[in-house]
Structure 1
Amino acid sequence: MPGLRRRLPPLTALVTFESAARLRSFTRAAAELGVTQAAVSRQVHLLETALGFPVFRRLHRRVELTENGRILANAASSALTLMADAIDEITDASAPDELVISASVGFSHFWLLPRISGFSREHPQFKLRIVAQDQLVDLGRGDADLTIRYGNGLWPDGRSILLFRDEVYPICSAEYLQAHGPIDTLDQLVRHPLIMHQSHDPVWTGWEAWLSAFGAAMPRRGAQMVCSSFTDSIYAALAGQGISLGWARLIPDLIAQRRLVRLTDHVARTSDGYHVVVPYRARPKASAELFLHWLSDRAAEAGSDPATSG
């Protein structure tokens, strides 16, 4: 009996065909495989040449499987899935389970990383990879096992579990307040340099929206310093550059340590909140399930009132 290598067409062409057949598109297959559409077309042509019959009908702006193509697509999908499952099983048995967690830079820096050593101590068998970025990762593409996001909880790529909502109030360093205080009213506050975080997220509360909530206006001179991230705005406040907006859930340690102090009695409570989002694509793996329980417990421990007086 001839060996498999002689009986099978080129495997690269077969894998490319499986993707194009499953997605019903050379363009989408190219995006999935990380190649050009022309490369997909060449591999499909190579496959058809090796087989001696067409596997696709080329129609106007779309393709469809021939009858032989449909039979081959079903077989290729089953065979490649079987191989992938076997590799997953072998990998799971021989390598540590890696849990990929995505979060914004601010949440990761100020809330998650100071606490996550507790999870590692409880579950040392898991390898953790933290992806800290303000752009949303695509859970549908498998870019992360879990992600923590701020918003209303409605995202198309996963189901969300509310961790907590937040409160926003002005903060500055203890040294700044000692040198320039007292700062107890909004009239006093707006005379000081304001530090602004320039966010493109419409649900994020900035100075203009925060002041407007209390009937006050942004000073005509605007913010004294504009930062590209929440993390930078907090470090600017720590450095004594002026007054920033503090999100109570993210800075409790800095408030408790008196490195930052809260100003005025004004506090804006957010209707949106921090959610952990689980992909729709599959049941969470064991490490993700354990992390969900751990994260929910830590969120519950934070209490129902994040505000801390200065």
Structure 2
Amino acid sequence: MDKKPEERIFAIANGTIVADAPALGTSHDLRAGRRAARLPPLNLFRVFDAAARHGNFTTAAEELCVTQSAVSQQIRQLEELLEVRLFRRMPRRVELTREGTALASAVGESMALLLRACERIADPKAPVILCVNAPPSIASRWLVPRLKRFMQLNPQFKVTLLASNDPVDFDRQDIDVAIRWGQGNWPNARIELLAPDRLFPVCSPALLREGPPLLVPSDISRHTLLQVVNGSFWGAWFGAAGAGGMAFEETLYFNDAGLMLDAAVQGQGVALASRLLAESDLKAGRLVRPFDLEVETGAGFHVLTSPDFSEKPAVAEFRRWISLEGRESA
């Protein structure tokens, strides 16, 4: 039995022959496909909603603070895009067609949803979400223990804390406040020093009891040195202590200052730490300071905010609060 040639369906769309298009059997279907593929500009629906509610283009124009001609033109544009007639034009008023009535119901519901959403956002009694971004080390060791106090003082603010060392771009990231360590040269940001970076050695009490004694700064060379990979200030500290040019038996490197301090707590060696990062461990007795000498690094932790939104009430209050906390710790 001969096999019939495969049947193929052709349709013409915008002057182009389209093969294998069974869903485009009629010109009406083609128009429906085009309509579904693109949503008209949303401002046209705003104009349509006003005209549908008032049943009059002139009254709609007064509500929207535009001319009657502008309303008429935008309604015509919407009708052309949808390829349906939305209004019957009467001498002194307009009436919705069947298609217009169906669209008016959906548009009215959508506008009401948008209005309620805007009211919730603008409600001064509604909780304000504040997004804070900080490196993992200072986020976990210094900021987290304090956030509860901030929210108790400001119950209208809710804080979302993100831990990251990534570069900050307030124009592209949904961040209100960032904390970063450095020398204060970040572009496109309002920068305020949280605390200067004065470093001093720390170690676990067990290391002092069980390891080689730490009587003078040069004794540190007999222990494992703990430091971060992106730079160390041990040389500056030993120089200030008058013990420069020493060789060390062993050094462990970490990509995060918090991990370095965890290693120090576990007795794996001696680390250089700032007061902000080591504060909780020092208070709890997990770390001790074998020497009081501190060295300035010229850097420190800074609070970064967007220049455009740094005076926004929630951001301004957080800036004020964290500045006080930083001064108390330093």
TM-score normalized by structure 2? 0.60
Greater C-alpha radius of gyration: 2
Q: Identify if the C-alpha distance between structure 1 residues 105 and 147 changes in structure 2 by more than 3 Å, giving closer, same or farther.
A: same
Once the two structures are TM-superposed, the CA of residue 197 in structure 1 deviates from its matched residue by 1.7
Report the number of matched residues: 228
The answer to whether residue 311 in structure 2 is matched with residue 279 in structure 1 is no
Q: Identify if the C-alpha distance between structure 1 residues 110 and 283 changes in structure 2 by more than 3 Å, giving closer, same or farther.
A: closer
TM-score normalized by structure 1? 0.64
Matches within 5 A, 1:156-235: 156-199=187-230, 205-212=232-239, 214=241, 216-217=244-245, 219=247, 221-223=249-251, 225-235=252-262
Once the two structures are TM-superposed, the CA of residue 287 in structure 1 deviates from its matched residue by 1.3
Query: Is the CA contact (8 Å cut-off) linking 1:197 and 1:206 kept in structure 2?
Result: no
Q: Identify if the C-alpha distance between structure 1 residues 255 and 165 changes in structure 2 by more than 3 Å, giving closer, same or farther.
A: same
User: Looking at both structures, which has the greater relative contact order when contacts are Cα pairs under 8 Å and sequence separation is at least 6?
Assistant: 1
**Secondary structure in 2 aligned to 1:155?**
coil
AA paired with 1:103? A
Q: Identify if the C-alpha distance between structure 1 residues 205 and 284 changes in structure 2 by more than 3 Å, giving closer, same or farther.
A: farther
Q: Identify if the C-alpha distance between structure 1 residues 264 and 282 changes in structure 2 by more than 3 Å, giving closer, same or farther.
A: closer
Partner of residue 287, structure 2 = 260
Query: Is the CA contact (8 Å cut-off) linking 1:137 and 1:143 kept in structure 2?
Result: no
AA paired with 2:303? V
Once the two structures are TM-superposed, the CA of residue 130 in structure 1 deviates from its matched residue by 0.6
Once the two structures are TM-superposed, the CA of residue 14 in structure 1 deviates from its matched residue by 9.0
Query: Is the CA contact (8 Å cut-off) linking 1:190 and 1:218 kept in structure 2?
Result: yes
Deviates more, 1:151-160 or 1:258-267: 258-267
Deviations 1:190-219 (A, max 9, x none): 1111122222xxxx5443454455552363
Query: Is the CA contact (8 Å cut-off) linking 1:145 and 1:284 kept in structure 2?
Result: no
Query: Is the CA contact (8 Å cut-off) linking 1:110 and 1:250 kept in structure 2?
Result: yes
Cα-Cα RMSD: 3.3
Once the two structures are TM-superposed, the CA of residue 140 in structure 1 deviates from its matched residue by 2.4
Unaligned runs of 5+ in 1: 1-5, 16-49, 51-83
Matches within 5 A, 1:1-310: 10-11=38-39, 90-93=120-123, 96-199=127-230, 205-212=232-239, 214=241, 216-217=244-245, 219=247, 221-223=249-251, 225-302=252-329, 306=330
The sequence identity of aligned pairs, in percent, is 30
Task: State how far apart, in whole Å, the 1-side matches of 2:245 and 2:119 are.
Answer: 60
Once the two structures are TM-superposed, the CA of residue 246 in structure 1 deviates from its matched residue by 1.5
Deviations 1:127-157 (A, max 9, x none): 2111111222322224310111222222112
Task: State how far apart, in whole Å, the 1-side matches of 2:191 and 2:115 are.
Answer: 27
